Structure 1
Amino acid sequence: MASFVIAVDGPAASGKGTIATRLGAHYGLPVLDTGLLYRAVGVLMRAAGEDLDDEGAGCAAATMLTADQLDDPRLRSRAAGELASRVAVHPRVRAALMDFQRTFAGQPGGAVLDGRDIGTVVVPDAPAKLYVTAAPAVRATRRWNQLKAQGEAVAYEDVLADIRVRDARDGGRDAAPMRPAQDAALLDTSEMTIEQAADAARRIVEAARARWLSSR
Structure 2
Amino acid sequence: MGKITIAIDGYSSTGKSTLAKRLASALNYVYVDTGAMYRAVTLFALNNEYVGVKEDIPSLVAQLSNIKLKFMPNETLGLSEMYLNGQNVEKQIRTMKVSEHVSKVATIEEVRRMLVAMQQQMGEEKGIVMDGRDIGTVVFPNAELKIFMTASPETRATRRYKELLERGEDVTFDEVLKNVQKRDRIDSTRDVSPLKKAEDAIEFDNSDMGLDEQFERIHNYTLRVINQNN
Query: TM > 0.5 between the two?
Result: yes
Which position in structure 2 is the counterpart of 1:207? 224
Paired residues in the alignment total: 212
CA shift for structure 1 position 56: 3.4
CA shift for structure 1 position 199: 1.1
| Aligned with 2:194 (options 174, 177, 185) | 177
In the superposition, relative to structure 1, how do residues 148 and 125 fare at CA in structure 2: closer, same or farther (>3 Å)?
A: same
Which position in structure 2 is the counterpart of 1:40? 40
> Relative to total residues, which structure has the larger strand share, 1 or 2?
2
> Relative to total residues, which structure has the larger helix share, 1 or 2?
1
In 2, Cα distance between equivalents of 1:199 and 1:39: 29
Q: Alignment partner of 1:50: what SS?
A: coil
- Residue 138 of structure 2 corresponds to residue 135 of structure 1: no
Counting only pairs closer than 5 Å after superposition, residues 123-202 of structure 1 correspond to structure 2 as 123-202=140-219
In the superposition, relative to structure 1, how do residues 2 and 207 fare at CA in structure 2: closer, same or farther (>3 Å)?
A: closer
Unpaired runs of 5+ residues, structure 2, are: 71-82
CA shift for structure 1 position 62: 4.0
CA shift for structure 1 position 209: 1.4
> Normalising by structure 2, what TM-score?
0.87
- Residue 46 of structure 2 corresponds to residue 28 of structure 1: no
Which position in structure 2 is the counterpart of 1:58? 60
8 A contact 2:157–2:173 mirrored in 1: yes
Question: CA offsets per residue over residues 143-185 of structure 1, 9 Å max, x none?
Answer: 0000001111211011011100000000000100001111111
Letter matched to residue 141 of structure 1:
T
Q: For structure 1, which segment, 74-83 or 144-153, has the greater mean C-alpha deviation from structure 2 after superposition?
A: 74-83
Q: Alignment partner of 1:182: what SS?
A: coil
Which position in structure 2 is the counterpart of 1:114? 131
Unpaired runs of 5+ residues, structure 1, are: none
RMSD of aligned alpha carbons: 1.7
Q: For structure 1, which segment, 32-41 or 195-204, has the greater mean C-alpha deviation from structure 2 after superposition?
A: 195-204
In 1, Cα distance between equivalents of 2:13 and 2:187: 13
Letter matched to residue 13 of structure 1:
S
In the superposition, relative to structure 1, how do residues 60 and 33 fare at CA in structure 2: closer, same or farther (>3 Å)?
A: farther
